[in-house]
Amino acid sequence: MAYAIIDLRERGQDLRAYVRGLEAWVIETLAGFGVQGERRDGRVGIWVPREGPREDKIAAIGVRVRHWIAYHGIAINVAPELEHFSGIVPCGIGEEHLGVTSLMDLGIYATMDDVDAALMKSFRTIFGDDT
């Protein structure tokens, strides 16, 4: 598992751009598995379009910034038991056409190690070599 602490003072102190970078990182990583991840205005995380109006969340993003040093957290649903989400409203998903999915649910059998390797590979593509 790789961790990165990013100094936003060196990146223009633009928190929105940083979050967009995290989203791009997840989207790039998912694309490596053949998954079309997308942003949605007004919703945090990365979404996968399904049949009809349905969209499912496949990744969550959380950020903590202290003195312009960013500590990020992302979570890509690799193979969780999706039934566990039925008893809660995950990440504020309350609309009927919104749900939760995972790589396994999409028919992609990847391990955590596979996803970690893909994340490390795409990290520098999005954030550059100076991180």
Say which of 19, 61, 91, 104 is annotated catalytic.
Answer: 91
Q: Using CA atoms, how far apart are residues 121 and 28, in angstroms rounded to an integer?
A: 10
- Would residue 91 show up in a list of annotated catalytic residues for this protein? yes
In 3D space, the residue among 54, 40, 62, 39 whose CA is nearest the CA of residue 105 turns out to be 54
Do the Cβ atoms of 85 and 130 come closer than 8 Å?
no
Residues noted as catalytic: 91
